[in-house]
Amino acid sequence: MRRFFAPAQLTHAPTRELHNGGFTAYAETPERVASILAAIGGASQPADEGDAAIRAVHDASYLDFLRAAPALWRDAGRPGDAIPYAFPIVRRRALDLTRVDALLGRHAMDATTPITADTWTAAYWSGQTALAATRAVVSGDRAAFALCRPPGHHAGADYCGGYCHLNVAAIAAQAARDAGCARVAILDIDYHHGNGTQDIFWDRGDVFYASVHADPATDYPFFWGHADERGEGAGAGATLNLPLPHGTRLDAFRTAQATALSAIAAFAPDLLVVSFGADTWEGDPISHFALTTADYRVLAADIAACGWPTVIVMEGGYAIDALGHNVASFLAGF
């Protein structure tokens, strides 16, 4: 299986994040990548194909904001990374916003996802990595792995959040659609619900979104991922959420994943995108499932057995030392 990664993805390195009322070390670090590359034996540099496939998913105003935010923040006299604090939850209407704090709040879903001077470049190359893997699979590879970082599944068409800036799974799925795949499915098995991916395809019937994740009654992102969210309009029935409780082990996770795979099989996709997070691991520092390193081999084999051309994109996973072994186990099982 070909693997892709661009060194520019390492440059995004926020110093801290808001957590439980104070600042702590940022969990989504460049060291995650070193752990994965060491365990999977390296990766190829993706081509730079420009931003057309990114613009096919994200609003132009949001992309302009990601590029401009660091300078606006600095010009406002602020030290460190740009972080929002006010959000337009009641009146999310068209306004000509100029103040950096207003722009930050308009284009973020939380205060845990700083924007640095390098964020745009790193996220851009995370997108190129997802696209390179998608091109490989559309061209006939059975599967490919995109070592995306920053991750993507919490980012919507016009907002960042949850350590995510560009939705790499959505960029891969849309690129596959535009390359001729009539139906694309996304299986999201990160610990957290992929609210951004769900939002982007919520009212579309051509991209099926299925997610197995921690119950949003107890876990981030709280406002999305409940079992009764099934899509709307042309997308009615093309979203499937399977929330699970703290302490979930392989048996329950595998059963839920099988339910997701059955629904995807009924949809009959031409291509599958897997949003893979290893934050379901038993020792993850921010999560509460109990999968073992060996379990990832089983879960990946179940996905591979379905036979769909598959693009695997990296999402979360924060236990640095185990992360590489967990990713390697998943790729070996596939």
Site residues, Zn ion (CB under 5 A): 190-192, 277, 279, 316
Q: From the list ligand SP5, Zn ion, none, which binds 112 (C-beta under 5 to 8 Å, kind-based)?
A: ligand SP5
Q: Which stretch binds ligand SP5 (CB under 6 A): 21-29, 46-54, 115-123, 173-181?
A: 21-29
57 neighbors 152 (Cβ within 8 angstroms): no
Q: Is 204 in the site for ligand SP5 (CB under 6 A)?
A: no
CA-to-CA distance for 245 and 31, rounded, in angstroms? 29
Q: From the list Zn ion, ligand SP5, none, which binds 163 (C-beta under 5 to 8 Å, kind-based)?
A: ligand SP5
Q: Is 316 in the site for ligand SP5 (CB under 6 A)?
A: yes
Q: Is 315 in the site for ligand SP5 (CB under 6 A)?
A: yes
Among 190, 215, 229, 284, binds ligand SP5 (CB under 6 A): 190
* Residue of this chain nearest to Zn ion (CB atom): 316
51 neighbors 67 (Cβ within 8 angstroms): no
Residues in contact with ligand SP5, counted by CB under 6 A, come to a total of: 19
- 165: which 2 tokens? 């800036």
Q: Is 112 in the site for ligand SP5 (CB under 6 A)?
A: yes
Q: How far is the CB of 190 from Zn ion (least distance, A)?
A: 4
Q: Is 243 in the site for ligand SP5 (CB under 6 A)?
A: no
Give catalytic status of residue 154 as yes or no: yes
- CA 125 to each of CA 168, 169, 192, 220, 271: distance values in angstroms, whole numbers, following the listed order: 10, 14, 23, 26, 22
Q: Is 225 in the site for ligand SP5 (CB under 6 A)?
A: no
Q: Which is nearer to Zn ion, 50 or 285 (CB)?
A: 285
CA-to-CA distance for 285 and 138, rounded, in angstroms? 36
Q: How far is the CB of 314 from Zn ion (least distance, A)?
A: 11
Q: Is 86 in the site for ligand SP5 (CB under 6 A)?
A: no
Amino acid identity for residue 183 in this structure: R
DSSP string across 183-210? -EEEEE-SSS--HHHHHHHTT-SSEEEE
Query: 310: which DSSP letter?
Result: E
Query: 7: which DSSP letter?
Result: G
Q: How far is the CB of 57 from ligand SP5 (least distance, A)?
A: 17
b (16+ CB within 10 A) / e for 207-220 = bbbbbbbbbbeebb
Among 192, 213, 297, 325, binds ligand SP5 (CB under 6 A): 192
DSSP string across 88-152? -SS--------SHHHHHHHTBS-SS--B-TTHHHHHHHHHHHHHHHHHHHHTT-SEEEE--SS--
Q: Which is nearer to ligand SP5, 82 or 168 (CB)?
A: 168
Instruction: Residue 309: name the closest of 133, 130, 142 by CA.
Output: 142
CA-to-CA distance for 144 and 312, rounded, in angstroms? 6
CA-to-CA distance for 196 and 74, rounded, in angstroms? 28
Q: Is 25 in the site for ligand SP5 (CB under 6 A)?
A: yes
Q: From the list ligand SP5, Zn ion, none, which binds 17 (C-beta under 5 to 8 Å, kind-based)?
A: ligand SP5
Q: Is 188 in the site for ligand SP5 (CB under 6 A)?
A: no
Which stretches of the chain bind ligand SP5, using CB under 6 A? 17, 19, 24-25, 27, 112, 151, 154, 162-164, 190, 192, 220, 277, 279, 286, 315-316
Residues annotated catalytic, as ranges: 154
